[in-house]
Structure 1
Amino acid sequence: MSAAKPAAKPAAAPGAGPGPGPGAGRPHLQRLRLLRAFAPRLLAGLFFMGLTVAVELLYPKALSHFIDNIGGGGGDWAGRFGLLMLAVLTLQALATTLRYYLFESTGLMIVTRIRRLLYGALIRQPIAFYDKHNVGELTGRLAADVEVLHDTLTMGLAISLRSLCVLLGAAAMLLSISPQLSVVLLVCVPLSLYLGKRAGGLLRGRAREIQQRQADCGKVAHEHFTNIRLVHAFGQHAGARQRYHAATAAALDAALGNVRLLAGFRGVSSLLTYLALLLTLWLGAGLIAGGRLTVGQLVSFVLYAGMVSASAGALSDYWGDWMRSIGATERVFEIIDSAPEGEGAAGAGRRLQGRIAFDGVSFAYPERPGRAALDDVSFAIAAGEKVALVGASGAGKSTIASLLLGFYRPDAGAIRFDGQTADALALADIRANIAIVEQEPSLFSGSIGENIAFAVAGRAVAPAEVEAAARLANAHDFIAAFPQGYDTIVGDRGVQLSGGQKQRVAIARALLRDPRILILDEATSALDSASELLVQTALEQLMRGRTTIIIAHRYSTIVKADRVLVLRQGAVAQQGTHAELLRQRDGLYFQLMENQLAMYRDSA
């Protein structure tokens, strides 16, 4: 007879998520719904499980018969009995193999499906979601949190069903052998199940804390690995270790609290188990002495009692695992439920002319609701016009770009494309007409060709298209000089390329997209003079015939614009051509450009 015990596995990595989704109030049914798609495999597994349960229940009965008739049969009776048992046990072994394979493989399939659902939900989340959540925390959910369901939804569920069948079958056999002895188990087993349920409830409550502590560990590690060059440059190895040690110490404290709970429960369960065994043997000896029980029946009773106790323990085990998995994966299903359906969906493929208008737009970032990033901003940009956004850091330049891309919605006012409000157009259609080149281009760790082809969604991009875009961006020559050419791996965030090379890859990507609206976000500010010349030539090719919004500080970039919008604290302070604004000596634009103009005069 084994002790009933809840699961001792620590909860998986996690983090904070959005508010409860539609399924948050029914977590049990929400998890079980995932099994429907795999019903045929699970039914086959249940069939083989039924065979193993039948053999398991017959085994003590057969052993009792053998003990009580040992020497009472013919000479070959023991041989025939042994062959029969060998055949039955071989059948059980085969059924056990198939049962295990079906449930375990189905568990892997379910985990893969949930991981895909979660990834799809995460990738559709608005940008505001990522402003609030650490990337390391989210990848931890994707990896570890989902894995918690593997055992509880398949193998664990199968074991609990098998344990329930064995429990009921063994209890029936116990009553048929000796109702008097069965009284002992009628007290001990329900008490063990009750303790398991209580422990399972406490485990669910502790799962969130363990999750969050482990998420904090992942967050600290992710931040330092992402900024590893900064850690080395500033000699912050010891500081990084201290932060991680503090995070792991908090995680260890939470886990140790869980272990203390489990240790106490197992001690009490163990005491109940052995007390039940001791009472059974003591009462059984008295029944044998009175001739009301045979030795074989007592042996089979003890075996059946062990089955009942073990099955009760397995059910308590599973209940603890189930409660823990619900606590550990609540956030996963909240994210899946809360994912916007239309984000990134294909639109009608509408081609915009490129006219843009901001009509009294006000906006504050969700994380800073009390501070306006834009305050009643109004301006219009004609199709094909090049407009520079100028202002001090925090004036609202990048916010305008983010609103154009639909990363956020304005709190007041309207954004119009070709005279229609952004809300009246499909977000996918708007984004399909926009390309952005950033100061620090976002590159994936794959090949140069893959990074350029990333511009086009929904179809395969021919190598000739990639090469044509690279030639226009003045990138083909340096790409062709690499031994692997367009198959050259750029490394994490393009670390294998220089700043100018990354910019030209980003420009080639924008050219391949063939946008009507182009956003240049400080695209040359971090380059040396030689690289800037090559990139500027590529940018001129990219801007030709396109509505272009240039976020810039450099004089050399701003003078190429048809018009300049000067922003101050989220409002438009000035607008006009470069020459017009320079004539306003008391204006903000002249103040911003004065130092750069002096530098250009000195160099001349």
Structure 2
Amino acid sequence: MTSSSRKTNPHLERLQLLRPFAGRLALGLLFMVLTVMVQLAYPKAIAYFIDGMSEKKSESWFIMLGSLMLGVFILQAIATTLRYYLFESTGYMIVTRIRRQLFGALIGKKISFFDRHNVGELSNRLTADVEVLHETLTMGAAISLRCLCILIGGVTMLLIISPALTLMLAFFIPASLLLSHWGGKRIRKHSRNMQQSQADCGKTAYEHLANIRLVHAFNQGRTAARRYGQSTEDALNVSLSTTRMMAAFRGWSIFLVYMSLLVTLWFGAKLILEDALTIGELTAFILYSTMVTDAASAVTDFWSEWMRTIGATERIFELIGEQEEIAPPVAALALQGNVAFRDVVFAYPERPDKLALRGISFTIAAGEKIALVGASGAGKSTIASMLLGFYEAQQGSIGFDGTVLTPANASAMRDNIAIVEQEPSLFSGSIYENIAFAVSEREASLEEVMAAARLANAHDFIQAFPQGYETIVGERGVQLSGGQKQRVAIARALLRNPRILILDEATSALDSASEVQVQNALDKLMAGRTTIIIAHRYSTIVKADRILVLEQGRIAQQGSHRELMQDTAGLYHYLMENQLAQYKTISEAHAEAA
């Protein structure tokens, strides 16, 4: 269901988050009612005390009244403690729940979604944007509800004490509510802009910190600081604009509060002079009127905060609401490894006018090793992405063992596929965790992980680390060498035990010594498996049973290395001749140096 089709009221949408915690909140409301009752009784008790002094009551009367009030205050303190705990802890529970929902929505998005959105921005949504809900939705809402009860109760007490004096305040409460309504709409818009500007700051910071080695390598520290400074300057301007709005709103609210107090004192003094009111009653009235104006101010403040929350979290609920249509689960498929592309036409969603694949057709038999060769941008990696079901073809179809790949069965198909990339994707955790990541439905045992590492020629170097398989590899595996990272990735693929293997430039970034070790591991990995090799290196390509030569999204040639080299006018011959010439030049240079 997309956000455009959802008609949920944004206020109800936020309040629905409270439903799973109704029991805790009901108990919190009970304690809140107790505190409100005590607070409303307090001014009347003060008036009773003052008028008692005027009547010169006995000392025992004052002791009895003081003891009673002490007991009530103890009860209020206990109720306040429990109320605070219940609402505050529920707020944390709701934030945790929302973070999980948002992360689940994000992790389930199609790859094309992440082509359009920056990871730094999405991370900011998970942290700063979600946190806005904590104070407003539970504690803030509870305080506002408490203030509303005080407002109603206080007005009732004011009417009991002096209807005439109460009428003098009638103007100020509606004026405060109108001010809240006026400010709320504007604050919501400002808050959404402020959250977006903060997300943009997070995006800029993430991009430069994630590529910190590149920043240092090109001496771009000042440029990075300047770009982040500009994004923070933009965010500051938006924040200052929002702050000016909030400041004006709060200023006018305070003005209304003190004006109401001034009017109360002036008219109350007049009633005392006319013997229509006692000093104790005026004192109680002032306390109640202060409660009422403070409560009205708190309610209007909450409304502005609530509208700020609505604006700040709009994007969160859009992302959660934009959940992809989830197809019914497909039973696990045990593939033999046959692959077929039939007239596949594809363009990336962000570049719909530029075709990446133009009517690609080929078949791969189970256990066959196919190499994809071509210049950058020819479509090699696109074919790998299509095999993994990351994108859907605009025309044509992709099949495995005669079954057409669809969004509904893509997950089941991927259970039979593993990929080893040129720059392996590693998490910052331990080596064990990175290898065990291959198994999704259960926890891989250490023995299984070690067995896979031995086959990948990785066990020895792993055991040489002081922490062995618990060695932390750092972000993107920065603590490992290129060859070590590749062998960890190969061990991960071996543990998955796939029928279809994709090798995306798996050895192109390695030195000769590392390539030998990695290639030996790859030979074990490829044995008996359907393998699609994306490669430029001659040593890797010649091992393929068949080679597909791609040019601008089409298959220009296909055949064995020997067959293709015989076509001296062909693209493959040109590519290989250039590469062999480079190898010859490098070899001669090494020989002369020796």
TM-score range, shorter chain: over 0.9
- Residue 541 of structure 1 aligns with which residue? 524
Query: What CA distance in whole angstroms lies between the structure 1 residues aligned with 2:182 and 2:353?
Result: 45
Shift of 1:399: 0.3
Matched, 1:551 2:544: no
Instruction: Point out the more displaced range, 457-466 or 393-402.
Output: 457-466
Partners of 1:23 and 1:334 within 8 A in 2: no
Q: 1:106 aligns with which of 90, 94, 100?
A: 90
Shift of 1:237: 1.2
The equivalences for 1:3-402 within 5 A come to 20=3, 23=6, 25-70=8-53, 71-340=55-324, 342=326, 347-402=330-385
Structure 2, gaps ≥5 residues long: 589-594
- Post-superposition Cα deviations, 1:82-140, rounded to whole Å, max 9, x if no partner, equal 11110011111110000000000010011101111111111111111111111111110
Query: What CA distance in whole angstroms lies between the structure 2 residues aligned with 1:227 and 1:423?
Result: 35
Query: What CA distance in whole angstroms lies between the structure 2 residues aligned with 1:264 and 1:452?
Result: 57
Match for 1:567: what amino acid?
L
Partners of 1:280 and 1:302 within 8 A in 2: yes
- Post-superposition Cα deviations, 1:5-47, rounded to whole Å, max 9, x if no partner, equal xxxxxxxxxxxxx962654641111111111110110000000
Query: What CA distance in whole angstroms lies between the structure 1 residues aligned with 2:340 and 2:521?
Result: 27
Query: What CA distance in whole angstroms lies between the structure 2 residues aligned with 1:93 and 1:421?
Result: 67
- Residue 498 of structure 1 aligns with which residue? 481
Query: What CA distance in whole angstroms lies between the structure 1 residues aligned with 2:228 and 2:432?
Result: 38
Shift of 1:259: 1.2
Q: 1:594 aligns with which of 570, 573, 577?
A: 577
Query: What CA distance in whole angstroms lies between the structure 2 residues aligned with 1:259 and 1:32?
Result: 26
Partners of 2:398 and 2:404 within 8 A in 1: yes
Query: What CA distance in whole angstroms lies between the structure 1 residues aligned with 2:128 and 2:204?
Result: 17
Match for 2:384: what amino acid?
A
Shift of 1:164: 1.0
- Residue 478 of structure 1 aligns with which residue? 461
Shift of 1:293: 0.3
Query: What CA distance in whole angstroms lies between the structure 1 residues aligned with 2:171 and 2:50?
Result: 29
Shift of 1:74: 2.2
- Post-superposition Cα deviations, 1:331-353, rounded to whole Å, max 9, x if no partner, equal 1111112122538x864121101
Instruction: Point out the more displaced range, 204-213 or 524-533.
Output: 204-213
Match for 1:495: what amino acid?
V
Identity of aligned residues (%): 62
Shift of 1:498: 0.3
Query: What CA distance in whole angstroms lies between the structure 2 residues aligned with 1:332 and 1:397?
Result: 36
Partners of 1:24 and 1:334 within 8 A in 2: no
The 3 A distance-change label for structure 1 pair 380 and 287 is same
Query: What CA distance in whole angstroms lies between the structure 1 residues aligned with 2:198 and 2:466?
Result: 43
- Residue 566 of structure 1 aligns with which residue? 549
Query: What CA distance in whole angstroms lies between the structure 2 residues aligned with 1:462 and 1:346?
Result: 26
Match for 1:291: what amino acid?
D
Query: What CA distance in whole angstroms lies between the structure 2 residues aligned with 1:224 and 1:169?
Result: 56
Match for 1:147: what amino acid?
E
RMSD: 1.5
Structure 1, gaps ≥5 residues long: 1-17
Shift of 1:187: 0.1
Match for 2:237: what amino acid?
D
Match for 1:393: what amino acid?
S
Instruction: Point out the more displaced range, 328-337 or 534-543.
Output: 328-337
Query: What CA distance in whole angstroms lies between the structure 2 residues aligned with 1:207 and 1:25?
Result: 20
SS of equivalent to 1:413: strand
SS of equivalent to 1:342: coil
Query: What CA distance in whole angstroms lies between the structure 2 residues aligned with 1:450 and 1:532?
Result: 24
- Residue 424 of structure 2 aligns with which residue? 441
Q: 1:431 aligns with which of 403, 406, 414?
A: 414
Partners of 1:21 and 1:335 within 8 A in 2: no
Greater relative contact order structure (CA < 8 Å, 6+ sep) = 1
Partners of 1:396 and 1:567 within 8 A in 2: yes
Query: What CA distance in whole angstroms lies between the structure 2 residues aligned with 1:424 and 1:245?
Result: 43
- Residue 8 of structure 1 aligns with which residue? none
The equivalences for 1:578-593 within 5 A come to 578-593=561-576
Partners of 1:22 and 1:337 within 8 A in 2: no
Partners of 1:64 and 1:297 within 8 A in 2: yes
Q: 2:503 aligns with which of 492, 495, 520?
A: 520
Query: What CA distance in whole angstroms lies between the structure 2 residues aligned with 1:21 and 1:89?
Result: 52
SS of equivalent to 1:423: coil
Match for 1:402: what amino acid?
S
Shift of 1:270: 2.0
Match for 1:591: what amino acid?
Y
Match for 2:76: what amino acid?
Q
- Post-superposition Cα deviations, 1:235-256, rounded to whole Å, max 9, x if no partner, equal 1111111111101110111111
Query: What CA distance in whole angstroms lies between the structure 2 residues aligned with 1:33 and 1:127?
Result: 30
Partners of 1:24 and 1:333 within 8 A in 2: no
Which aligned segments of 4 or more residues in structure 1 are displaced greater than 6 angstroms? none
Shift of 1:183: 1.5
Query: What is the TM-score of this pair, normalised by structure 2?
Result: 0.97
Matched, 1:404 2:387: yes
Instruction: Point out the more displaced range, 195-204 or 258-267.
Output: 258-267
Partners of 2:148 and 2:295 within 8 A in 1: yes
Partners of 1:563 and 1:578 within 8 A in 2: yes
- Post-superposition Cα deviations, 1:168-190, rounded to whole Å, max 9, x if no partner, equal 11001101111111112110111
Query: What CA distance in whole angstroms lies between the structure 2 residues aligned with 1:170 and 1:460?
Result: 61
Partners of 1:439 and 1:526 within 8 A in 2: yes
- Residue 493 of structure 2 aligns with which residue? 510
Query: What is the TM-score of this pair, normalised by structure 1?
Result: 0.95
Query: What CA distance in whole angstroms lies between the structure 1 residues aligned with 2:201 and 2:211?
Result: 16
- Residue 422 of structure 1 aligns with which residue? 405
The equivalences for 1:456-475 within 5 A come to 456-475=439-458
Query: What CA distance in whole angstroms lies between the structure 1 residues aligned with 2:445 and 2:496?
Result: 13
SS of equivalent to 1:373: strand
- Post-superposition Cα deviations, 1:47-92, rounded to whole Å, max 9, x if no partner, equal 0000000001111011111111114322311111111110011111
Query: What CA distance in whole angstroms lies between the structure 2 residues aligned with 1:166 and 1:485?
Result: 63
Query: What CA distance in whole angstroms lies between the structure 2 residues aligned with 1:169 and 1:305?
Result: 11
Shift of 1:600: 4.7
Partners of 1:205 and 1:327 within 8 A in 2: yes
